[in-house]
Amino acid sequence: MRIISGKYGRRRFDVPTSFKARPTTDFAKENLFNVIGNLLDWDGLDALDLFAGTGSISFELLSRGCRKVVAVEKEGLHASFISKVASELKTEDLALIRGDVFRYLQSAPKERFDFIFADPPYQLKELSGIPPLILERNLLRNGGIFVMEHPKGYDFSSLPYFNQRRIYGSVNFSIFSKH
Protein backbone atom coordinates (compact mmCIF):
# COMPACT_ATOMS: atom_id res chain seq x y z
CA MET A 1 0.00 0.00 0.00
CA ARG A 2 1.34 3.39 -0.96
CA ILE A 3 0.34 6.87 0.18
CA ILE A 4 0.55 8.99 -2.93
CA SER A 5 0.67 12.61 -1.81
CA GLY A 6 0.75 14.97 1.16
CA LYS A 7 2.65 14.86 4.43
CA TYR A 8 2.90 11.04 4.37
CA GLY A 9 3.42 10.90 0.60
CA ARG A 10 5.55 8.09 -0.82
CA ARG A 11 5.32 6.06 2.38
CA ARG A 12 4.78 2.35 1.73
CA PHE A 13 3.29 -0.30 3.97
CA ASP A 14 3.33 -4.03 3.30
CA VAL A 15 -0.18 -5.43 3.38
CA PRO A 16 -0.29 -8.97 4.79
CA THR A 17 -0.76 -11.59 2.07
CA SER A 18 -3.67 -13.09 4.04
CA PHE A 19 -5.82 -10.00 3.40
CA LYS A 20 -9.15 -10.55 1.65
CA ALA A 21 -9.50 -6.85 0.78
CA ARG A 22 -9.34 -5.61 -2.79
CA PRO A 23 -7.59 -2.27 -2.33
CA THR A 24 -8.28 0.58 -4.72
CA THR A 25 -5.44 0.57 -7.25
CA ASP A 26 -2.86 3.35 -7.06
CA PHE A 27 -3.81 4.40 -10.60
CA ALA A 28 -7.51 4.70 -9.75
CA LYS A 29 -6.80 6.33 -6.37
CA GLU A 30 -4.47 8.93 -7.86
CA ASN A 31 -6.96 9.83 -10.59
CA LEU A 32 -9.86 10.00 -8.15
CA PHE A 33 -7.95 12.29 -5.79
CA ASN A 34 -7.06 14.55 -8.73
CA VAL A 35 -10.76 14.85 -9.64
CA ILE A 36 -11.94 15.38 -6.06
CA GLY A 37 -9.07 17.77 -5.33
CA ASN A 38 -10.58 20.09 -7.94
CA LEU A 39 -13.90 20.01 -6.08
CA LEU A 40 -12.73 20.14 -2.44
CA ASP A 41 -9.91 21.63 -0.42
CA TRP A 42 -8.83 18.78 1.87
CA ASP A 43 -7.45 21.00 4.64
CA GLY A 44 -9.52 20.72 7.78
CA LEU A 45 -12.21 18.43 6.37
CA ASP A 46 -13.91 15.59 8.23
CA ALA A 47 -14.07 12.33 6.27
CA LEU A 48 -15.70 8.92 6.56
CA ASP A 49 -14.14 5.81 5.00
CA LEU A 50 -16.60 2.90 4.86
CA PHE A 51 -15.32 -0.64 4.26
CA ALA A 52 -11.86 0.77 4.99
CA GLY A 53 -9.99 -2.45 4.10
CA THR A 54 -6.28 -1.61 4.18
CA GLY A 55 -6.95 1.99 5.24
CA SER A 56 -5.35 3.23 2.02
CA ILE A 57 -8.03 5.89 1.43
CA SER A 58 -8.10 6.92 5.10
CA PHE A 59 -4.35 7.50 5.18
CA GLU A 60 -4.41 9.33 1.85
CA LEU A 61 -7.08 11.66 3.29
CA LEU A 62 -5.06 12.30 6.45
CA SER A 63 -1.90 12.83 4.41
CA ARG A 64 -3.64 15.48 2.31
CA GLY A 65 -4.81 17.48 5.32
CA CYS A 66 -8.13 16.13 6.55
CA ARG A 67 -8.69 17.08 10.17
CA LYS A 68 -10.36 13.82 11.12
CA VAL A 69 -11.07 10.51 9.39
CA VAL A 70 -13.51 7.92 10.71
CA ALA A 71 -12.66 4.50 9.25
CA VAL A 72 -15.17 1.67 9.58
CA GLU A 73 -13.87 -1.87 9.04
CA LYS A 74 -15.42 -5.16 10.15
CA GLU A 75 -12.55 -7.61 9.53
CA GLY A 76 -10.32 -7.89 12.61
CA LEU A 77 -7.10 -8.46 10.64
CA HIS A 78 -7.77 -5.39 8.50
CA ALA A 79 -8.65 -3.22 11.50
CA SER A 80 -5.44 -4.32 13.24
CA PHE A 81 -3.41 -3.38 10.16
CA ILE A 82 -5.08 0.06 10.00
CA SER A 83 -4.34 0.58 13.69
CA LYS A 84 -0.70 -0.47 13.20
CA VAL A 85 -0.20 1.96 10.29
CA ALA A 86 -1.85 4.81 12.24
CA SER A 87 0.55 4.10 15.09
CA GLU A 88 3.56 4.09 12.74
CA LEU A 89 2.43 7.42 11.27
CA LYS A 90 1.92 8.76 14.81
CA THR A 91 -1.49 10.14 13.90
CA GLU A 92 -4.32 10.62 16.36
CA ASP A 93 -6.64 12.00 13.69
CA LEU A 94 -7.94 8.57 12.67
CA ALA A 95 -10.96 7.17 14.52
CA LEU A 96 -11.10 3.46 13.76
CA ILE A 97 -14.42 1.72 14.29
CA ARG A 98 -14.19 -2.04 14.14
CA GLY A 99 -17.68 -3.04 13.17
CA ASP A 100 -20.33 -3.57 10.54
CA VAL A 101 -20.84 -0.62 8.16
CA PHE A 102 -24.62 -1.08 8.04
CA ARG A 103 -24.89 -1.13 11.82
CA TYR A 104 -22.71 1.99 11.95
CA LEU A 105 -24.86 3.77 9.38
CA GLN A 106 -28.07 2.88 11.22
CA SER A 107 -26.76 4.00 14.61
CA ALA A 108 -24.33 6.73 13.59
CA PRO A 109 -24.53 9.84 15.71
CA LYS A 110 -25.71 13.02 14.06
CA GLU A 111 -22.17 13.53 12.83
CA ARG A 112 -21.82 14.94 9.31
CA PHE A 113 -18.87 14.65 6.94
CA ASP A 114 -17.35 16.73 4.15
CA PHE A 115 -16.17 13.64 2.28
CA ILE A 116 -17.46 10.07 2.37
CA PHE A 117 -15.85 7.15 0.56
CA ALA A 118 -17.38 3.67 0.33
CA ASP A 119 -15.58 0.71 -1.22
CA PRO A 120 -17.68 -2.35 -0.37
CA PRO A 121 -16.76 -5.87 -1.44
CA TYR A 122 -17.99 -6.16 -5.04
CA GLN A 123 -19.93 -9.35 -4.26
CA LEU A 124 -21.85 -7.72 -1.37
CA LYS A 125 -25.56 -8.35 -1.98
CA GLU A 126 -26.54 -5.02 -0.32
CA LEU A 127 -24.12 -3.00 -2.49
CA SER A 128 -26.86 -1.18 -4.44
CA GLY A 129 -28.47 0.01 -1.20
CA ILE A 130 -25.39 1.79 0.14
CA PRO A 131 -25.71 5.15 -1.72
CA PRO A 132 -29.42 5.58 -0.89
CA LEU A 133 -28.73 4.72 2.76
CA ILE A 134 -25.91 7.27 3.05
CA LEU A 135 -27.98 9.95 1.34
CA GLU A 136 -31.10 9.21 3.41
CA ARG A 137 -29.13 9.33 6.67
CA ASN A 138 -27.99 12.84 5.70
CA LEU A 139 -24.37 12.13 6.64
CA LEU A 140 -22.98 14.49 4.02
CA ARG A 141 -22.57 18.18 4.83
CA ASN A 142 -23.66 20.82 2.34
CA GLY A 143 -20.86 21.21 -0.18
CA GLY A 144 -19.66 17.68 0.58
CA ILE A 145 -18.71 14.85 -1.76
CA PHE A 146 -19.61 11.16 -1.53
CA VAL A 147 -17.75 8.61 -3.67
CA MET A 148 -18.95 5.04 -4.17
CA GLU A 149 -16.54 2.52 -5.70
CA HIS A 150 -18.37 -0.29 -7.48
CA PRO A 151 -18.24 -2.80 -10.36
CA LYS A 152 -19.34 -1.68 -13.82
CA GLY A 153 -22.81 -3.29 -13.65
CA TYR A 154 -24.20 -0.64 -11.29
CA ASP A 155 -25.77 2.68 -12.29
CA PHE A 156 -26.48 5.23 -9.58
CA SER A 157 -27.13 8.18 -11.92
CA SER A 158 -30.82 8.43 -10.97
CA LEU A 159 -30.05 9.10 -7.29
CA PRO A 160 -30.14 12.59 -5.77
CA TYR A 161 -26.88 14.55 -5.84
CA PHE A 162 -25.36 12.27 -8.51
CA ASN A 163 -22.66 14.29 -10.23
CA GLN A 164 -20.55 12.01 -12.40
CA ARG A 165 -19.15 8.56 -12.98
CA ARG A 166 -15.45 7.94 -13.48
CA ILE A 167 -13.99 4.71 -14.83
CA TYR A 168 -10.35 3.71 -14.41
CA GLY A 169 -9.77 0.23 -15.82
CA SER A 170 -12.13 -2.09 -13.95
CA VAL A 171 -12.71 0.46 -11.17
CA ASN A 172 -15.89 2.55 -11.31
CA PHE A 173 -16.56 5.56 -9.09
CA SER A 174 -19.95 7.22 -8.77
CA ILE A 175 -19.51 10.71 -7.39
CA PHE A 176 -22.26 12.57 -5.56
CA SER A 177 -21.99 16.22 -4.56
CA LYS A 178 -24.34 17.93 -2.15
CA HIS A 179 -24.59 21.59 -3.08
Q: What domain range is 46 assigned to? A: 29-177
Q: Is pLDDT at 117 greater than 90 in this prediction?
A: yes
Residues 6+ away with beta carbon under 8 Å from 170:
151, 152
- What pLDDT, on the 0 to 100 scale, is given for residue 111? 87
Q: Is residue 160 part of a domain?
A: yes
Nearest-angstrom CA–CA distance, 158 and 102? 22
Categorize the per-residue pLDDT at 17 as very low, low, confident or very high, splitting at 50, 70 and 90.
Answer: confident
Residues 6+ away with beta carbon under 8 Å from 90:
none
Domains in the chain, number: 1
Q: Is residue 57 part of a domain?
A: yes
Q: Is residue 128 part of a domain?
A: yes
- What pLDDT, on the 0 to 100 scale, is given for residue 85? 96
The mean pLDDT of the chain is 93
Q: Is pLDDT at 179 greater than 90 in this prediction?
A: no
- What pLDDT, on the 0 to 100 scale, is given for residue 26? 84
Q: Is residue 47 part of a domain?
A: yes
- Looking at the chain, the whole-number percentage of residues with pLDDT higher than 90 is 81
Query: Which CATH number do you get for residue 76?
Result: 3.40.50.150
Q: Is residue 60 part of a domain?
A: yes
Nearest-angstrom CA–CA distance, 64 and 44? 10
- What pLDDT, on the 0 to 100 scale, is given for residue 20? 74
- What pLDDT, on the 0 to 100 scale, is given for residue 57? 96
- What pLDDT, on the 0 to 100 scale, is given for residue 4? 92
Torsion of CA 82, 86, 92, 93, to 10 degrees: -60
Short-list 18, 29, 2, CA closest to 80: 18
Tens of pLDDT, residue by residue over 60-116, are 999 999 999 999 999 999 999 999 999 999 999 999 999 999 999 988 767 899 999
Q: Is residue 12 part of a domain?
A: no
Categorize the per-residue pLDDT at 19 as very low, low, confident or very high, splitting at 50, 70 and 90.
Answer: confident
Tens of pLDDT, residue by residue over 139-154, are 999 999 999 999 999 9
Q: Is residue 20 part of a domain?
A: no
Q: Is residue 72 part of a domain?
A: yes
